[in-house]
Structure 1
Amino acid sequence: MTTNTANTASGGPVLDWAAGHGPVTGALSATTGAFAAATTGAATGMPPGWALAVGAAGALGHTIAGLRVRNAGRTVATRAACWLLGAGWTTWAMATGPLTWTALGSLAALGVGIGTANRSADLYEEAREEEAIAAAERQVAAELSAERRAIAAEWADRIQRVCGITVRVLAVEMWPTGTGFSLDAELPPGGATYDKVAKEAPRLSADARLPHGCTATASPGIDQGRVILDVTTVNVLAEERTYPDDYGPLSVLTGIPWGYRTNAEEIRTYLREQCALVVGPTGSGKTNMVHVILAGFARADDVLTFVIDLNAGSAGLPWVLPALSGDLRGPDGAPVRPGIDWLAATHEEATIMLDAVLRIARHRKTVYQDLMARANTDLLPISARIPQIMLVVDEGAEILTSTDRAMRQLAAKILEVIRIARAMGVRTVLTALGATGSVLGNLMIRREAKVRVALTGGETEGMDLSKMFPGTRGLRTDQAPYKGSGFLGTPEETAGLFKAWRILPNQIRDITTATTDRHPVLDAPSKEAAGDAYTRRWDPDRTAWMRDTTSGSDTSTGTGTTAAQTTGSGRDGLNLSALRNEQPEQGPEPDADALAARFMAEIDKTFGTTAEPGTPDRPEQRDDKPPTAPRPGLNLSALRGQGEQAPEAGPAWLADAIDAIASAGAAGMKPSAIAELVGKDRKTVRAALRAAAERGELVYRDNGPHSVYLHPDHA
């Protein structure tokens, strides 16, 4: 340790005492050892035969060790000869004297020979080892090549049989995910195009006996005489994958992830210049897809998200409420910022937002001319300092096709944003319930929304994929029967199967917390153009409807007022008069009987309800008792019919089935598995489970052939 330290300090070589001997040090060690043994033996009168015996033992030991590690024969012979030559010289020197010039000269020659022989043996062993490794690699390559040749021959024959054209497969690429492979094929001369293979994709998939959800999709090759055929062999769309736990930073310039393809690879959309259109019927996973999109925008450090959802703002509330409630704290302990930058749930707020966005776009056109000139571009350079505004309009396509006057005004503003704001960094994401002619009939949508998503969930009504993805053949809704699955096409990639991640409510809260310090702020010129409409967007008077949802289900009536306010009393919650024994408190409020009578009259007038039993409107059930004045509050007649029998709780085996379903957790159990468990026929089991689901004891998750029943604790 001292020597090493001294050498290091002086800048000299560092000695590694643990390193093995090389050709030079090995020969030097052997010769010096032999000279020391001969000198010591001659001085002490040691019998010379002992040195020869030691050398023979060393040669035998190295021979056995070399055979065990499978060294080459020449290596084993070289090392054994070195031992025997060294032992022979030592024996001779001990007998004749090691200090003669003859002894010293022969020892030096012996050392050179030992070093040269060992170096040659080492080089031979290295070459032999490299050759063995190369041979193994050649064998693996030959096996893989044989597999690829077999795949190429099989699919060339299949394309000839199904499509009627002869192709030459140039390459076969196995996907790293292990879910399929791609073929690069050369089309025959005579004008054949990739489209001839693409339109026969369903027949090719059937001929290859691919599993359900797996396809053979053709796309253009490197030139017009080539075709790329992507063949999926594992159905990754059937399983549900949650949103990735990596909440790292993103950028609109490098793409926003929206899901994954059938090869399990992540899909990224590039929305700097493109708008997006997402369609999906009820139950297809469209709301979940919107949350996936908002999650990507929240992770980007150069995007501000504005959301319009006229359906009570449900698309944006999960991204806003954690910040408004103050329950969450960021990494530095400060309150978190909302996951989106503006939320509009009413026609008035949406109009304010769109007017502000239009002012921002027009102001940016003038104030940033010098910046664009310095950057030598006609597109506003987007960055964290000048963020892009992504306007997400839930069911926005329906707004554009609505005949309502107020909606037409909103539609005109949305189309104006799409038309004038591309270069200034304002783009839109619209959603719709279906891919129909009314939705896709607008030229502006078809021209600007080049990123298109069709979530099918197996639905066929209102899903015209030929209108959604014109020019793409072989797309069928039955290829994506799972919730959250469908087709996605971008300017960079042709339309193909994909699936969106499942994003859970707790993940939305986690993303909001993790990205709170990453959200950019609106640049000063844009904020000046937006005015008070933007700076006061989170004022209490404009977010009161959001805050009402946080007051608890026992105090909210769902209309922004409490039950106490509705009835005029000081009680909290709904006033269920049928379950209350005490009399209501009297006060100076308006006459409760008059309010109740007016309320019931309005209900009868609007909904045509029938009278309660025992009222004058039903003389066959009227008794001689004096009428009782109605109590204030909502009379749900909860005490009527107490003598009626309670509904059956189900057969005796149902309790065991419910316990088994609860033990299965979030995966649930299929009816067939439950039938095997309880030993009943499937028809009987299905009827009992359906009745239990109606009573709220179970939850039914409809997923086609993979439908399951879950316990409410795991739903």
Structure 2
Amino acid sequence: MTTNNTTGTQLAGGPVWDWAAGHGPITGALSATTGAFAAATTGAATAMPPGWALAIGAAGALGHTIAGLRARNAGRTVATRAACWLLGAGWTTWAMATTPLSWTALGSLAALGVGIGTATHSTALYEEAREEEALAAAERQVAAELSADHRAIAAEWVDRIQRVCGITVRVLAVEMWPTGTGFSIDAELPPGGATYDRIAKDAPKLSADARLPHGCTATASPGIHQGRVILDVATVNVLAEERTYPTDYGPLSVLTGIPWGYRTNAEEIRTYLREQCALVVGPTGSGKTNMVHVILAGFARATDVLTWVIDLNAGSAGLPWVLPALSGQLTAPDGAPVRPGIDWLAATHEEATVMLDAVLRIARHRKTVYQDLMARANTDLLPVSPQIPQIMLVVDEGAEILTSTDRTLRQLAGKILEVIRIARAMGVRTVLTALGATGSVLGNLMIRREAKVRVALTGGETEGMDLNRMFPGSRGLRVDQAPYKGSGFLSTPETGVGVFKAWRILPDQIRDITAATAHLHPILDAPSAAAAGEAYARRWEADRTAWLHHTTGTGSDTDTAGPQPAARPGLNLSALRAERPEQEPDADADALAARLMAEIDQTFGTTDEPGTPPPPERQEQEEPPAPRRPGLNLSALRGQNEPPQHAPDAGPPWLAQAIDAIESAGAMGLKPSAVAELVGKDRKTVRAALRAAVKRGELVYRDNGPHSVYVHPDHA
């Protein structure tokens, strides 16, 4: 009976032959002697020249000697193998010259086989002992290099990894971080297919087992090859303290990386954005605006980057980098004006559209005008330099623009996606921000594919923080690992995902960076400037930056009106703000009441309560009562000659600004959405006020469906 299996056929009760196994001392000796006997017999029968056998043996000895030296075998092993070849060739030559069938020939061949087997067994034992001694020497060397503290750390973590992860590693080195905030362990994984992922997925368990402080983690990453693992263990929570942006404002390059923050080992993180886009998400209060300023600070220091910013929230992300320079508050040491910290700022849909159109024209023009340059450099990427700078397009809450259902925002979203799609090789990349790592933000394939640099600022916020979707393939990420404002997770193609924190940067430091880096900013290359046209050349002209000057006001009409009257006790009524009643604190209460009544009679002519008919003698002299004033029935306003309720209203205070803007727009007019963006009101309120202005003849409504606009009568 036979049994069939995947390796062959095995006879019941018989031996199992492994034909792939190598020769041992016995099988090797049998193979050598039988081969020599067969060669001698065949040679003697065919009258083969005996010298051939000797030549073949010498060639075999030489080949095995070379192979042994390359394999770094011991000298006795190399000599034994060469001697076996020469002895076997010598016997074959002698047997061919005489006869291989004599008892003398057969006896000497048997003796030769026993000698070959014994020598082979001896050399095998020696090689095994030599290998074990080499391993022991390597372990002794590693142990010698590790100090007593390092050996204790190594032993502790070997035991911990065995207990938590179920695998046994061999620690090769322990390196303490220069910052004194932790250490790194270089370990070798056990044979059998174990990978670093088995340790990485249990990183939270290792951190808990080691009783690390909050904010400290044990993170596993690949070693120098797939059989090694690096375990970074943070022992000091550097995320809890606030660190300001480094005061070294020296030059940077997009090719050598832009610093965005620091890891738990206190070392700065650099992002490489020559070919990658970036996505930064963070809920309100997580430090996202501060992170944007850190990013802009790095771009301001780069000598081969021009930064263009789109922020439809009144341009707030770019204002601190623009206003001090445009208002003349900053000057260079030689007295010359300072360039803004960013190269272009768009705060409205119209300006953002103009900017995106200019970016697309630049990208397409660079594809043709710089073909010779790329051919000389033998590259398909535009060689970015201070002469041909890269354009970094920073769009605050840009991910929300890409997912918006508003028609105007969808147009902007289409242009942003086109920039991401076509402009990589031509040196245009984007940095988008969002309020959360949600499915609507990360559902866009273009964002997931191009934004390889990703930041999730958590600040302890759990809602809208889908870290598994933000960092696919990562394990063990929890929001409570980064509970501090400005902290979170950062992933780059070079370093993987890990906990980090952004530096704190304040407006005073932004002003300092703007002044210190003004001379580092490159100039847009001539072909790109020609492609951008007047839209780029006139970006800082007065008519394009008029909205910036409104932000420098105090926000109150009374701030510059000089001293104000003392506040009247009680309700702050606009009808009574022009009066300044005098009250003596030490006057008698009755005298004060009488004086107040007399003052009211003198000012308003009556003190009758509502609904009280006047005396008959006054009814004949008084004019017909005025219609009742809408709103509160205030005694301070009774008897005044007020306009009727249906009289036209002058409109809200911001309407005058809106009408001026519509007049400046000329015959093109403005849409209600543009007016709402200008005055900072919602569209419903703006539309109602504009319709009322049309009824009064102050504006003209030009109905053109979705393109309807309001036009000033002078241009109608």
- Interval of TM-score (by shorter of Structure 1 and Structure 2): 0.5 to 0.7
Q: CA deviation at 1:366?
A: 0.2
- Is it true that 1:435 corresponds to 2:452 in the alignment? no
State the distance in 2 between where 1:477 and 1:387 align: 38
Residues 240-279 of structure 1: pairs in structure 2 closer than 5 A? 240-279=242-281
Structure 2 match to 1:184: 186
Deviation at 1:554, TM superposition (A): 3.8
| CA-based RMSD | 2.7
SS at match of 1:517: helix
Q: Is the 8 A contact 1:250 1:256 kept in 2?
A: yes
Residues in 1 aligned to 2:324 and 2:170: alpha-carbon distance in whole angstroms = 59
Any idea what the Cα deviations from partners look like across 1:25-63, whole Å, max 9, x if unmatched?
A: xxxxxxxxxxxxxxxxxxxxxxxxxxxxxxxxxxxxxxx
Aligned to 1:511: 513
CA contact (8 A) 2:374 2:382 kept: yes
Pick closer, same or farther for the CA change 1:444–1:556 going to 2, 3 Å: farther
Partner Cα separation in structure 1 for residue 543 and residue 439 of structure 2: 40
Instruction: Map 1:137-536; keep pairs closer than 5 Å.
Output: 145-536=147-538
CA distance in structure 2 between the aligned counterparts of 1:424 and 1:453, rounded to whole angstroms: 25
* C-alpha deviation, 1:576, in angstroms: 6.0
Q: Which residue of 2 aligns with 1:581?
A: 579
Counterpart-to-counterpart distance in 2, 1:388 and 1:331: 28
| CA–CA distance in structure 1, aligned partners of residues 223 and 440 of structure 2 | 34
**Equivalents in 2 of 1:393, 1:507: separation in Å?**
22
Unmatched 5+ residue regions in structure 1?
A: 1-140, 564-573, 584-613, 636-715
What's the offset of the Cα at 1:579? Answer: 2.9
Matched AA of 1:579:
R
Shift of 1:228: 1.1
Supply the distance in 2 between the matched residues of 1:626 and 1:366 (Cα, whole angstroms): 77
- Residue deviations 1:118-147, cap 9 Å, x none? xxxxxxxxxxxxxxxxxxxxxxx9796111
Structure 2-normalised TM-score?
A: 0.60
- Alignment deviations for residues 267-314 of structure 1 (CA, whole Å, 9 cap, x no partner): 111101100000000000000000000000001111000000000000
Give the AA of the match of 2:243: R
Larger radius of gyration: 2
Separation in structure 2 between the aligned mates of residue 344 and residue 205 of structure 1, nearest angstrom:
46
1:546 aligns with 2:551: no
Alpha-carbon distance between aligned partners in 2 of 1:383 and 1:308, rounded to the nearest angstrom? 24
Shift of residue 575, structure 1, vs aligned partner: 12
Q: 1:539 to 1:617 in 2, by over 3 A?
A: closer
**2:400 partner SS:** helix
Q: How big is each residue's C-alpha offset from its partner over 1:163-205, in whole Å with a ceiling of 9 and x where there is no partner?
A: 1111111111111111101111112222222111111111100
* Matches of 2:265 and 2:413, distance apart in 1: 38
Matching residue's letter, 2:401: I
Is 2:282–2:434's contact at 8 Å kept on the other side of the alignment? Answer: yes
3-state SS in 2 of match to 1:353 = helix
CA distance in 1, matches of 2:576, 2:160: 74
Mapped contact 1:212–1:479 kept (Cα < 8 A): yes
Change (3 A) 1:381 1:149: same
Give per-residue Cα distances to partners, 1:645-703, cap 9 Å, x unaligned.
Answer: xxxxxxxxxxxxxxxxxxxxxxxxxxxxxxxxxxxxxxxxxxxxxxxxxxxxxxxxxxx
Amino acid at match of 1:491: P
| 8 A contact 1:320–1:340 mirrored in 2 | yes
State the shift of 1:582 in Å: 8.2
Mapped contact 1:577–1:633 kept (Cα < 8 A): no
In structure 2, relative to structure 1, the CA distance for the partners of 1:553 and 1:489 (3 Å cut) is: same
User: 3-state SS of the aligned residue for 2:324?
Assistant: helix
The amino acid across from 1:351 in the alignment is T
1:187–1:226 contact (8 Å) kept in structure 2: yes
- Write out per-residue CA displacement over residues 78-130 of structure 1, whole angstroms, 9 at most, x where no aligned residue: xxxxxxxxxxxxxxxxxxxxxxxxxxxxxxxxxxxxxxxxxxxxxxxxxxxxx
Shift in CA distance, 376/483, structure 1 to aligned 2, threshold 3 Å: same
Other structure's SS at 2:357 match: helix
Identity %: 82
Distance, in Å, in 1 between the alignment partners of 2:417 and 2:636 is 68
Q: 1:249 to 1:630 in 2, by over 3 A?
A: farther
Q: 2 CA distance for matches of 1:148 and 1:279?
A: 39
Between the aligned partners of 2:552 and 2:636, the Cα distance in structure 1 is 48
- Does the 8 A contact of 1:387 with 1:425 survive in 2? yes
Per the TM alignment, residue 524 of structure 1 is displaced from its structure 2 partner at its CA by: 0.3
- Alpha-carbon separation, structure 2, partners of 1:625 and 1:420: 67
Secondary structure at the residue paired with 1:431?
strand
Output the amino acid matched with 1:207.
D
- Judged with a 3 Å threshold, the aligned counterparts in structure 2 of structure 1 residues 576 and 532 are, in CA distance, closer, same or farther, namely farther
Tell me: CA distance 1:580–1:149, structure 2 relative to 1, closer, same or farther (3 Å): same
Mapped to 1, the partners of 2:495 and 2:641 lie a distance apart of 71
The aligned residue for residue 710 of structure 1 is none
Asked whether the 8 Å contact 1:324–1:547 carries over to 2, the reply is no
Q: In the TM superposition, what whole-angstrom CA distance separates every residue of 1:538-577 from its partner, at most 9, and x where no partner exists?
A: 11111100012124434599xxxx99xxxxxxxxxx9966
8 Å CA contact 2:254, 2:302 repeated in 1: yes
Q: Distance in 2 between matches of 1:437 and 1:338?
A: 36
Q: What SS does the aligned partner of 1:509 have?
A: helix
What displacement does 1:517 show?
A: 1.4
2: CA distance, partners of 1:432 / 1:535: 30
- How far apart are the structure 1 equivalents of 2:497 and 2:530? 41
Q: Judging changes above 3 Å, is the alpha-carbon distance between structure 1 residues 194 and 577 closer, same or farther for their aligned structure 2 residues?
A: farther
Rounded Cα–Cα distance in structure 2 between residues aligned with 1:163 and 1:309: 47
Distance 1:577 1:370, change over 3 A: farther
* Deviation by residue 1:464-495 (Cα, 9 ceiling, x = unmatched): 11011111111111010100000001000110
Partners of 1:356 and 1:530 within 8 A in 2? yes
Task: For 1:515, give the aligned amino acid.
Answer: T
Cα distance 1:343–1:147, how it changes in 2: closer, same or farther (>3 A)? same
Q: What code does the residue aligned with 1:183 have?
A: I
Letter of the structure 1 residue corresponding to residue 210 of structure 2? A
Supply the AA of the counterpart residue of 2:524.
Answer: L
- Contact 1:576/1:633 (8 A) holds in 2: no
Helix, strand or coil at the partner of 1:334: coil
- How far did 1:634 drift? 12
Give the stretch that moved more between structures: 574-583 or 510-519: 574-583
Q: Tell me how far 1:625 sits from its aligned partner.
A: 7.9
Structure 2 partner of 1:75: none
1: distance between equivalents of 2:383 and 2:558? 46
Query: Hey, what's the Cα distance between the residues in 2 that align with 1:350 and 1:320?
Result: 16
Q: CA contact under 8 A between 2:629 and 2:642: conserved in structure 1?
A: no
What secondary structure, in the 3-state scheme, does the structure 2 residue paired with 1:515 have?
Answer: helix
Preserved CA contact (<8 Å) 2:576 2:636: no
Mapped to 2, the partners of 1:413 and 1:374 lie a distance apart of 32
Deviations 1:214-271 (A, max 9, x none): 0001111222222111100000000000011111111111111101010000111110
1:531 partner amino acid: G
Question: Is the 2:311–2:396 contact (alpha carbons within 8 Å) kept by the matching residues of 1?
Answer: yes
Whole-Å separation in 1 of the counterparts to 2:165 and 2:156: 14
